[in-house]
Copies of this chain bind each other. A is one copy, B any other.
Amino acid sequence: MQRVVRVNARTCAIEQTPVSDEMSLWGGRQLIANILAREVDPTCEPLGRGNKLIFAPGWLGGTMIPTSGRLSIGGKSPLTGGIKESNVGGEAGQTLARAGVRALIIEDAPDDPASRVLRIDRNGATWVDDLTLDRLSVRETLGILREQFGERCGFLVIGPAGELRMTASGIATTDVTGVQIRYAGRGGLGAVMGSKGIKAIVIDDEGAPPQAGADADCLKKASRRFTELILASPKIEGRRKFGTAGIVATSNELGLLPTLNFSSGSFDGIDGITGKCLADTIAARGGDGRSGTPCMAGCVIRCSNVFPDEGGHRKVASLQYENIALLGSNCGIGTLDGIAELNALCNDIGLDAIEMGCALGVAMEAGLAQFGDVEAAADLLRQIEQATPLGRILGQGAAFTGQALGVRRVPTVKGQGIPGYDPRALKGNGVTYATSPMGADHTAGNAFGTARSLDPLSAEGQLENSRALQIRSMILDMSGLCLFARGPLVEDAELLAELVNSCFGTNVSFADIANEAAATLETERAFNVAAGVSDRLADVPEFMRVEPLPPHNVVYDISADAMQSIWEIEPNRKKF
C-alpha cells in the first residue's frame, strides 16, 4: 500500500493514511511544494512548531529505472526563509519508496531539544528508544545504525550541526556500502530536522520488492531503453572516470570558478584540484580509493568516488565538483588532500560543504585564517562541532558570518551561499540564483552545461536558457531522477512520459509533464511571495554588480527588473 506517514514530533504520535488519488500523482519536489502550500503558513518560524519537514521519493522512485532513487527533502528553509527542496542520492530514497512511503511528513516540534530515532518499514513506523546518539558525528551515527539495523537499510541522519539548529546543516544519507556520505545539503534542512528533535530515520524495506509499475512489461521495456541510451552517451566515460570533478578545469578555463572568496574566476593552483588530478591520485594511491562507484544500487552512471589518503585509507567519499570549488579554490586551497580533509569534516559535523566553503571564504577575507591554510580552516570547522561562539557564527552559513564579521563581499543570494559558478562569468546562473524559488542552488537550473553553446559572459539569451533549465530541473526533481540521467531525455523527451505512464497507468505526454513542472514552480513562487522572499526581491550580491571578476573582468549586468521577465517566457513543452 502506498501511504503517507505523518509523525508529530511533539506528541510522538504516528499516523499512516493511504495516499489520496491526488497525491498519488505527485512526486518528489512537486509533492513537497503542494503539501507546504496547503499545510504550512509561509510566515511560520522555520525552526518552530508550524514548519513541516517532508521526505518524498519521486514519481519513479522504488522502480528498477536507473538513478530513480533520488530523494526530495523539503520544508520552509531557515537559511533562505523560503520554500526548499534539497535532493539527495544514496539509498534512502529507494528504500523509502519500496517501503511504500509516498511521503513522510514530520510535524510540530518538541519544546526541549531531543535526538530521537524513527524507524520505518513497509508495515509502519516506530520510535527507537534504546539508542543514545546525541551529538555523535554523522559517521559514528551511521556506523551504529548500520550495525543495529542492518546494512541494507536506508538511513537519514543529522550531525551535531543539525542538532544545534545551525542553518548551514544538512541531512546525510549513505549508499549500500556505508562508504559514501551523501547530503541533502542546501537550505539548512538539517536544522529543521534538529528542531523536530529527530537525529536519525532508519528505513527498512525488507520484504518490499522493487515496484513493478502499473504496466510491468512496458516499464521494463522503457527502462531498458533508458539504460541503453544512458550507456550510449559519450559523456559516460568521463563521468565514471572523473565524476563531477570533471568540470573543474573547464570552470577555471571559463573563468567562473569561485576563487579566494569570489574575487577571481580562475585559480593559480588549478592543476592540483582537477578531475584528472583526482582520478590519477585515486589510481596511484590504490587501497580504498575508487573511481566510478555508484551512490545508489543499480546506477549505471557511477559518478562517485572514494578518495584515499596517502596510505590508501578512505579519506572522503565522494569528492565532488562543488566541494572542490567551494572548499578548494574559493578558500585558496590547492590540494585534494586539503579539500578532502575539510570535506570529511563537513560530512562528519553535518554541514553543507557548499555553504561552508562560502562561509570559510568570508571568514578568510575577514582575516580569521589565511587563504590556503587547511589546518586553520579545519580548526574553524571543528569549532562548529564544539559550538564555540565562532563556531556558532560559521555554522549559520555565509550570510550570517558576513554580517557578524562585517564583511562586504558575501557570496549569497536569498541568504544562501552561491555554488561553484560565479554568475558574473556564467550569467545564466545569476538568473537562476535570483529567480529560482530555491535561491543560489546548483541543481535548480544550472547553465554550466550550456556554457559552450551560449556565451556565458553575455546576457543574451540567458533568461530563456534559465527558464528552460529551471523547468528541466523541476522535472528531474519530480521524477526522482539524477541530473546525470538527463541525456536520453534531451534526445527523446517522450521517453519520460513513457516511463511515467508505465508506472502509473496514465496516458500523459511530455507536454503534460512540462506543464506540471511549470505549475509547481508557480506553487513554490507563491509560497515565497507569501513568505516575504519573492524572487522579485532577490538579486545577485551588490559586489557582483560593481567588482569586475578576473580573468574576464566582467560584472553581472542583467538587471533585477529584466530577470523578472523570465516568468513571462512560455515553457517549452516539447523539448526537455
Contacts and interface: CB of A to CB of B under 8 A. Distances in A.
A404 B408 contact: no
10 contacts: A43-B539, A49-B546, A164-B406, A388-B389, A389-B393, A392-B393, A392-B404, A393-B404, A530-B537, A532-B533
A400 interface: yes
Nearest to A405: B392
A528 to B, nearest CB: 10
Copies of this polypeptide in the complex: 2
Interface string A397-413: 00010011110100000
Considering residues A166, A167, A400, A537, which has the most beta carbons from chain B within 10 angstroms of its beta carbon?
A: A537
Contacts of A537: 43, 530-532
A534 interface: yes
Interface of A: 43-45, 47-50, 111, 164-167, 388-390, 392-393, 396, 400, 403-406, 408, 530-534, 537-539, 541-542, 546, 560
B560 A43 contact: yes
A534 B43 CA distance: 11
Contacts of A392: 389, 393, 404-405
Considering residues A48, A388, A404, A405, which has the most beta carbons from chain B within 10 angstroms of its beta carbon?
A: A404
Contacts of A542: 44-45, 48-50
Contacts of A43: 537-539, 560
A396 B403 contact: yes
Nearest to A112: B408
A50 B389 CA distance: 31
A403 B541 CA distance: 23
Contact of A403 (B44, B167, B531, B560): B167
B165 A406 contact: yes
A93 B418 CA distance: 44
A408 B48 contact: yes
A381 to B, nearest CB: 14
A77 to B, nearest CB: 13
A406 B48 CA distance: 11
Contact of A532 (B47, B400, B532): B532
Contacts of A50: 542
A280 to B, nearest CB: 40
A198 B47 CA distance: 38
Given A43-B537, A45-B542, 11 more contacts: A43-B560, A45-B541, A49-B542, A50-B542, A166-B406, A388-B389, A389-B404, A392-B404, A400-B400, A532-B532, A532-B533
Contact of A390 (B111, B389, B534): B389
A274 to B, nearest CB: 34
A533 to B, nearest CB: 6
Contacts of A404: 389, 392-393, 396, 400
Q: Which 10 A/B pairs are nearest by Cβ-Cβ distance?
A: A389-B390, A389-B389, A532-B537, A165-B406, A392-B404, A48-B542, A532-B532, A45-B542, A43-B537, A164-B406
Contacts of A539: 43
Nearest to A368: B389
Contacts of A533: 532
Contacts of A389: 388-390, 392-393, 404
A113 to B, nearest CB: 8
A522 to B, nearest CB: 19
Nearest to A532: B537
A530 B537 CA distance: 7
A537 B41 CA distance: 10
Considering residues A48, A546, A560, which has the most beta carbons from chain B within 10 angstroms of its beta carbon?
A: A48
Considering residues A166, A400, A408, which has the most beta carbons from chain B within 10 angstroms of its beta carbon?
A: A408
